[in-house]
Amino acid sequence: MDYKQTTAILFRRVRVALFVALIFAAGYGFGTAGQAADAQSRIRLPDGAEALFDPLFEAFNMINREYIEPVPPEELIDGAIRGMMLALDDPYSNYVNAEYFPFIGGDLEGSIEGIGVIINEMEEGGRVQILTVLPDTPAERSGLQVGDIFYAVEGENVEGLTNLELAARVRGPAGTSVALTILRGDDLIDFDVRRERIEVPNVEHELLDDDIAYISMAQFTTLSRQQVEQALADLSVNSRRGLIFDLRGNSGGYLSAAVDIAALFIEEGTILIEEFAEDRVDTFKIIEDQAYRIDENGNQRLYSTRATYAGVNVPVVVLVDERSASAAELVTGAWQDNNAVTVIGVPTFGKGTVQTQRQLVNGGGVRLTIARWLTPAGRSISGEGVLPDVVVAMPEEDEIEAETGADVQLQAAIDFLLADNLIEQSAD
């Protein structure tokens, strides 16, 4: 097979690395920016709740007066908030303290200030290693390599830190430098790396052999819609034999971006249904190139003016895998229920909830589940995922290497589009 798959496969591996690194930091992303609210109204206790906090104050005072070692009060408060979030038994609701909260979600804005590596915790040893060195970044120019292990940052040993804790130490304002000690094999190597503003890779596109357009998207960011629009224009997609839209490894992102992307292939119709507490229900619909949010009483609010239909008139295949999560599942489910695409791959991750993110008065932040969402047909994908129309599993990683990088799911999508074109030609 002589298809141009090299770039697609390389980008997919970068995307999977992004998925691993970003998921650890913030959960499978799908949320809305926190609504601005008056600080006093947010910290005022509901009527009758004061007495419930008495044991908390008792414990706080007891630790302050009697614990054998001094403990900063801020650490006790962080622990108390974290405990409340843990009590929800919800993996997508969590608390991040003031030191690390500024690093949450920056990738969804399309850029970060740092050195340009994607990192992941090693399964053993409590170390963080480099999974990918992004091209044309300070990390690449300084000589950092895939597989390098972070040993020290600014002279401080970082063994035992999480991804997020390490990222907080390595990232910083553009124009400043960070001193790193890297473990490479048995050698410790020092690097002085100057930080820059780095565009996070998100949308890639290329023209495959057999005149098939290919677009790959890693996350639903504030820039995703315009990036995909540009890709469609660059590819002159309606003059091609078909389009492959690759959402494998896509960990989610903003609800607003998901709605705008879904509208690309849905001219009119429902995108999703949200179920909130107290039986409140919102339905998102595309009406005349705009997205509206309609409540259970029929009240209609304009949600987005960017939900324009792309007018793609060639067959579209969407690729998904077990790492396609949240917003990626929402969009796939919307397209599938509206008969806009054919879905190929394996069942997706199965995250059917929406989170909001809000900064607290102490500088930390809470990410909280506020709704469940359903596909336009009323399907819940929680725990099950979106089921592909055509199931094609990927071989194990070692089998992929043995096949010199063959991507069987991408090949299945190509074969499907070529067969679809043959059927149309024979019908003519």
- Range list of β-strands (E), 276-395: 281-287, 290-295, 300-304, 316-320, 342-345, 353-359, 365-374, 390-391
Band of pLDDT at residue 360, cut at 50, 70 and 90? very high
Please give the share of the chain, as a percent, with pLDDT higher than 90.
59
In DSSP notation, 257-295 reads HHHHHHGGG-SSEEEEEEE-GGG-EEEEEEETTEEEEEE
Q: Is the pLDDT of residue 403 over 50?
A: no
Q: Name residues whose C-beta falls within 8 Å of residue 195's C-beta, 6 or more positions apart in sequence.
A: 113, 114, 115, 138, 171, 172, 173, 174, 175, 176, 177, 178
DSSP class of 107: G
- Tally of CB atoms within 10 A around 5: 20
Residue 97's pLDDT is 86
Query: Over the stretch 49-63, which tens digit does the pLDDT of each residue have?
Result: 888 899 999 999 999
**Residue 167 contacts residue 25 (beta carbons within 8 Å):** yes
Kindly tell me if the per-residue pLDDT of 377 is higher than 60.
Answer: yes
Are the C-beta atoms of 8 and 206 separated by less than 8 Å? Answer: yes
Can you tell me the mean pLDDT for 121-137?
A: 80
- Rounded-to-integer distance, Cα 252 and Cα 213, Å: 23
pLDDT of 406 higher than 60: yes
Rg for the chain, CA atoms, rounded: 24
Q: Does 150 or 173 have the greater pLDDT score?
A: 150
Beta bridge partners, 294, equal: 283, 300
Q: pLDDT tens for residues 163-185?
A: 777 888 898 889 999 999 999 99
pLDDT at 179: 97
pLDDT higher than threshold 80 for residue 162: no
Q: What is residue 107's predicted lDDT score, i.e. its pLDDT?
A: 56
The pLDDT tens digits of the residues spanning 77-91 come to: 999 999 999 999 988
pLDDT at 106: 58
| Domain residue extents for the chain | 19-32+201-427, 49-97, 111-199
Write the CB contacts of 139 (distance below 8 Å, at least 6 apart in sequence). Answer: 115, 116, 117, 130, 133, 193
- The pLDDT assigned to 198 comes to 83
SS3 category, 134: coil
pLDDT in tens, 210-252: 999 999 998 898 889 999 999 999 999 999 999 999 999 888 8
**What is the distance between the alpha carbons of residues 252 and 382, in angstroms, rounded to a whole number?**
14
Q: Are 259 and 304 in contact (CB under 8 A)?
A: yes
Give the pair of three-digit tokens for residue 122: 């090693």
Query: Whole-prediction pTM value?
Result: 0.75
Quickly name the fold that domain 19-32+201-427 has.
2-enoyl-CoA Hydratase; Chain A, domain 1 (3.90.226)
Would you state the pLDDT for residue 49? Answer: 82
- So what's the pLDDT on residue 1? 45
Into which CATH architecture does domain 111-199 fall? Roll (2.30)
Least confident of 141-155, 161-175, 337-351: 161-175
Whether residue 264 contacts residue 310, with contact meaning beta carbons closer than 8 Å, is answered with yes
Q: How confident is the model at residue 348 (pLDDT cuts 50, 70, 90)?
A: very high
Q: Is 211 helix (H, G, I), strand (E, B) or coil?
A: helix
Residues of the chain above pLDDT 70, percent: 82
Q: Which residue has the higher pLDDT, 134 or 419?
A: 419
What's the whole-number mean pLDDT along residues 284-306? Answer: 96
